[in-house]
Amino acid sequence: MVKTAILGGGISGLSAAWYLLKKEPQANIVLYEKGPRLGGWIETNTSRGFTFERGPRTLARSRSPYLLQLIDELGLKTISSSGGKRYLWRQGKLRPIGSYWPSMLCAIARDLFAKRSQQDDESIASFASRRFGKRAAELFFDPMTLGVYAGDIHRLSIRSCFPTLWDWEQKEGSLFRGWHKRKKGPAGLFTLEGGLERLISELKRQLPIKIVTNFEVHSLDDLAADRIISALPAYEISRLTNIPLDLPYRSLWVVHLGFTKKHLKQKGFGYLVPSTENQPLLGMVWDSDLFGEEETTRLTAMIRAESADPIRTALDALQKHLEIKIAPDFIEARLAKNAIPQFEVGHAEKIAHFEKQVQIKFPHLSLAGNYFSGASLEACVQRSFNLK
């Protein structure tokens, strides 16, 4: 019987095992995880009556078909949210994004007449400025990129970070026309009852495979496997294969703030802080307001890794941005080290070259993970689904 070794116990590795068993129900699979727990960045923390996601927390229904199918197959239940208003902290004030509609209209008008790019790739800043103008790039694309990748729009690739936008330009000649013609999916956001870590615990419970934790792979030859699926970070599989892959990663602080009473005056998803504001805070998600909680306040602040005092940064934001003067009943800060791969200009070609070299040197090795087409759970699950 063919023995398959899966390296990495996050969502990519676990979903790869799930889909492999659907194709080959008798497959002999051993999954190896370097740490003591499964799940990778997915981790639901319940402390002192507050529930927080230390990693991903909300997902868009329209952009999660593979993930929703997996959730359905596992028999899990979702909780829905409309998402609500989104805000920017700009020039000393919290402003609804909708209040910038005059700027949006000007940007749309410019987009309708902008020419297609003749380049194979370009930075998000270059793309947005060319199609919408520099102001729109700084006002809309910069905070959007910070919210997803915590990265620099002058370095990150539009083609790899936001491929839908790139495709709209190539196929329709305009993002507005592409958006108008798009296939509309179900609206709103969702999470799982009991937290997103239920996805991991249920995969673990239902997968009839051997799982080995606290096991670090030092050489692929040591696995004695006929087939290997790597769901390791890019830098780890590059080390194991000795094939160079220069892919930067971004770290960030995640600070959870909990109050036993309702203190948030605003309604909505949360807010982002454009880079032009020169603040260590990237943004804040209003967790408790997303799903209609009335009695408590739960907030998650995302802060640049360079911050010397992330807790003070979060507390200052409470006072200055949200006018919450009292101290939280619960506070926790964690550094998500090397959490987000950075898809810089030329990323697609870089990854294609790496995959080609892996196929030549290690024909029995397949690659999964969050460094191919996106760091989202959907991108990870879709990659695992498509493994051959």
pLDDT (tens place) for every residue of the chain, 388 residues total: 679 999 999 999 999 999 999 999 999 999 999 999 999 999 999 888 899 999 998 899 999 999 999 999 999 999 988 888 999 999 999 999 999 988 889 999 999 999 898 899 999 999 999 999 999 999 999 999 999 999 999 999 999 999 999 999 999 999 999 998 888 888 899 999 989 999 999 999 999 999 999 999 999 998 989 999 999 999 999 999 999 999 999 999 999 999 999 999 888 999 999 999 999 999 999 999 887 766 889 999 999 999 999 999 999 999 999 999 999 999 999 999 999 999 999 999 999 999 999 999 999 999 999 999 888 999 999 999 999 8
264 touches 286 (CB < 8 A)? yes
Q: What backbone torsions phi and psi does residue 344 show, to the nearest 5 degrees?
A: -80, 170
Per-domain residue ranges of the chain: 3-40+190-247+344-385, 97-181, 249-341
* Helix residue ranges, H only, 226-269: 234-241
Structure token digits, residue 74: 């596992």
3-state percent helix, strand, coil for the chain, nearest multiple of 5:
40, 25, 35
**pLDDT at res. 345:** 98
Asked if the domains 3-40+190-247+344-385 and 249-341 are classified in one and the same CATH topology, the answer is no
Instruction: Let me know if domain 249-341 sits in CATH 1.10.3430.10.
Output: no
Whole-model pTM?
0.94
CATH code for the part of the protein at 97-181: 1.10.3110.10
Burial of 166-175, coded b for 16+ CB within 10 Å and e otherwise, reads bebbeebbbb
CATH superfamily for 3-40+190-247+344-385 is FAD/NAD(P)-binding domain (3.50.50.60)
